[in-house]
Chains A and B, each alone.
Chain A
Amino acid sequence: MREITLSKAVNEAIAEEMRRDPSIFVIGEDVAEAGTPFKVLSGLVEEFGTERIIDTPIAEPGFMGIAVGAAMTGSRPIVDLMFGDFLYLVMDQLCNQAAKTHYMSGGKLNVPLVLRTNLGATRRSAAQHSQSLHALVAHIPGLKVAMPSSAYEAKGLMKTAIRDNNPVVIFEDKLMYQDKAPVPEEEYFIPFGVANVLREGTDITLVATSSMVQVALKAADILAAEGMSAEVIDPRTIVPLDEDTILKSVRKTSRAIVIDEGHQSYGITGEIASRISEKAFYHLDAPVQRMGAMDVPVPFSPALEDVTVPTEQTVAERARLAIRGDLFHAA
C-alpha cells in the first residue's frame, strides 16, 4: 500500500469531500494561497477557488461565528484554527453557540461544522503554541472530539467528521504532519466511537490518544523485550468514547495506564481512568494510572519542555511498577 504523510491525508480527505458536496467550504487564516503555516491545505485553492477556500482576517471568534451561522443555513464549513491554543479565543462561538444550538432549538437547527486544529508540545514553540486542549471541548455536551494518531486515522476520521451533522473538533498532532503511514487509495471512513486495538497483550492495557499512541506502542516494545505483554488501545474519538473496548481489555489484563498529552489534572486521563475504576474495579490488580502532560505552562527551553510530556521510557517504567505489583501507594 502507498504511504502518505498525515498532512497529505488530511488534504485528501477534505478535497474528496469538497468534490462530492458543494456546500462544504474551508474558512480560516492563511488557508488559501499559503495553504496554512503547516502547508496542510496546499493546492486546495487552485482546485476549489477562493469562494470555497476562504482566507479571513486574524479574527478567530469572527470566523468561528460565521461558520456557525453558515452551518445553520445549509453549508458545511470546515474551520481552520491555526493553533489549538487559539481555542480560548473561539470558546463562546464554539461552546455557547455551536454546541448548544441543536439542543436549545429542540432539535430543529443543526450545526454541521468541523473545527480542525492541532495539539502537541516539544516543537519549541513555548506556552501559547504548544497546548493540547481537547479536554476543554470534550467537557462540553454537543461537541464531538476526534484525535487521529496517524495518516490513516487522520483521513478516515476527517471524512467522517465532515459528514457528521454536529460540530466536530478534530485535533491533529502538529509534530506528526510529516509522518507517513499506509493509506489506501480507495475511499474509507473511520466511524466515531469505535476504538482501535493496535496491539494485543495480556499484562497491562495502555489507553493512548493522538500523539501518545506512538509513545505507547514503543513502550509496549520495551516491555515485550522484558517479557511483559501490553495491549495498546487508541480510542480515536474521546467524544463519543468507546468505553466497551477499553473495559473489555482491562478485564482481561487487570491493569491500565491512560496516556494523553493534555494536562493531567482534570483531564482526559482522569476521565478514562475513572470510568475504568468505576466499571472494572473488581478486575483490577493495580491502581489505574494517569499519565498526562505536567501541570505547568509548556516551557520553551528544550531541557525543560521534554520532561513535561510522557515518553516511552516513563510509560514503560510505570507499566513495570504496575505489573510487578509495586504501585499500591503510587497515587
Chain B
Amino acid sequence: MSAAKKANSNRDDYLRMYRQMVRIRAFEDNANQLYLSAKMPGLTHMYSGQEAVAVGICEALTCDDKITSTHRGHGHCVAKGANFKEMFCELLGKEEGYCRGKGGSMHIADQANGNLGANAIVGGSMGIATGAALSARRLGKTDVTVCFFGDGATAQGLMYEVMNMAALWRLPVIYACENNGYSEYTRTDEIAAGSITARAEAFGIESHQVDGQDVLAVNKLATDLVARARKGEGPFFIELMTYRYHGHHVGDINREYYRPKDEEAEWKSNRDPIANFGKWLEDQKIVTNDELVSINKDIKAQAEEAVAYAEKAAYPSVNEVDMHVFASSAA
C-alpha cells in the first residue's frame, strides 16, 4: 500500500470513528429530550461521555463478531452498526423497533450486526458473551465476542465463574469493563476493593487499563487484542477509564449527594472524547473545523428525523402481546 493510500484509509477510519461518536451523542441527546418531554415510556440510561469506549472497540470488530451490552447500551448498539430509526422506534415501544417494541431501551438486540442484546441485569450478559465465544470456537467460526459491562458489575459473582472457564478453555472473548467511576448512585471506590484488572489477572487473563476517553488509544488496543483473540490467544480483559455525563438514569438529576458538579464540569470541558478527538483531527490537518461542523449538523438532523419518524410510527397490534413467547419448533 502506498503511503498516500494509507493516509487516506486512516482518514476514513478516523472520520468514521468521529461520526460514530457524534451519532451516539446525538442519539442520547434526543433520547434524553424524549424523556424530559414525557414522550418516552419508562426511563433510560445515557451513554454520553463514554462514546470512545464503544466506538474504539466496535471499530476493531467485524459485523460477525459479537457483543453483549448493558442497561446503558445505546452506545454499543450504535457503534455496532444499528440504525437510528429502529432504535428510536424501540425506545418509544413502536412496531418498527428492533424488538417490535417488546424490549425497549434496556433490551435492544440487533443480531444482524452481531449485537446479542442489552441486558437489564447488571453483569447478566457475562455468561452469554462467554458462551457465544465457546459456540464460535466449537462451530469453527473465527468470531470474537466482546462483553461490555460497568465497574458495578465487577461485584457480581457470575463474572468470576465465567472468567475462570474462559481462561481454562482459552476462549475468544474480551471482557470490556467501562469504569465510569460510579456504580449506580455510589462511588466505585466504595464498592470495589483492590484493583479491577487484578481480578482478571488472578485467572491468568492478560489485562490492560486504557484511557477510555481516547478513541484512538482504545481502538489501537482493541484491534491488537481482537486479532490475538481470533488466533486463540484470548481471553483478555480491558478496564476503560471513562465518565458518565448524566446520572444513573435520565431521572437521576439531583445527584450532588454522590457526585460533585465541578467533577462533572471538569470531565465535560477537558476530557470530552468527541471534542478532544475533533480537535486532534483539526490539529493534524485531517479535517477542517468546517467539515466537523458539517458532520455534526448532518448527524443532528438525521437523529431528529428519526425521532420524528418514530413518534409517528405505529404501536404494535395488541394481538402481538403473546407472540414470541416461544419460538416455533419444526421437530
Contacts of B329 in A (CB 8 A): 163-166
A101:B117 contact, CB within 8 angstroms: yes
B99:A163 contact, CB within 8 angstroms: no
A189 nearest in chain B by CB position? B331
Interface size class of B (residues with CB under 8 A): 35 or more
Contacts of B101 in A (CB 8 A): 106
Residues of B within 8 A of A (CB): 66, 68, 97-103, 107, 109, 111, 116-117, 119, 121, 124-136, 138-139, 143, 145, 157-158, 161-162, 164-165, 168, 323-331
Q: Which of A52, A56, A102, A103 interacts with B165 by CB under 8 Å? A: A56
- Decide if A245 is an interface residue (CB 8 Å cutoff): no
A62:B162 contact, CB within 8 angstroms: yes
- Decide if A71 is an interface residue (CB 8 Å cutoff): yes
Also in contact, A75 and B128, with CB within 8 A (given A101-B117, A105-B107, A160-B331): no
Q: Which of B132, B143, B161 interacts with A59 by CB under 8 Å? A: B161
- Decide if A63 is an interface residue (CB 8 Å cutoff): yes
Contacts of A97 in B (CB 8 A): 119, 121, 124-125, 127-128
Contacts of B128 in A (CB 8 A): 65, 68-69, 72, 97
Also in contact, A96 and B135, with CB within 8 A (given A102-B327, A109-B111, A160-B331): no
- Decide if A107 is an interface residue (CB 8 Å cutoff): yes
State in angstroms the CA–CA spacing of A330 and B17 once bound together.
72
B107:A102 contact, CB within 8 angstroms: no
Contacts of A329 in B (CB 8 A): none
A60 nearest in chain B by CB position? B161
State in angstroms the CA–CA spacing of A71 and B66 once bound together.
13
Q: Which of A70, A92, A160, A164 interacts with B131 by CB under 8 Å? A: A70
- Decide if A227 is an interface residue (CB 8 Å cutoff): no
- Decide if A209 is an interface residue (CB 8 Å cutoff): no
Q: How far is the CB of A94 from chain B (nearest CB, A)?
A: 11
Contacts of B136 in A (CB 8 A): 73
B127:A104 contact, CB within 8 angstroms: no
Q: Which of B116, B127, B135, B327 interacts with A62 by CB under 8 Å? A: B127
Q: Which of A77, A104, A166 has the most CB of B within 10 A?
A: A104
State in angstroms the CA–CA spacing of A276 and B124 once bound together.
39
- Decide if A23 is an interface residue (CB 8 Å cutoff): yes
A71:B165 contact, CB within 8 angstroms: no
Contacts of A96 in B (CB 8 A): 121, 124
Also in contact, A102 and B324, with CB within 8 A (given A73-B66, A109-B109, A163-B329): yes
- Decide if A110 is an interface residue (CB 8 Å cutoff): yes
Q: Which of B97, B117, B138, B168 interacts with A75 by CB under 8 Å? A: B138
State in angstroms the CA–CA spacing of A102 and B103 once bound together.
10
B127:A66 contact, CB within 8 angstroms: yes
Q: How far is the CB of B239 from chain A (nearest CB, A)?
A: 21
- Decide if A144 is an interface residue (CB 8 Å cutoff): yes
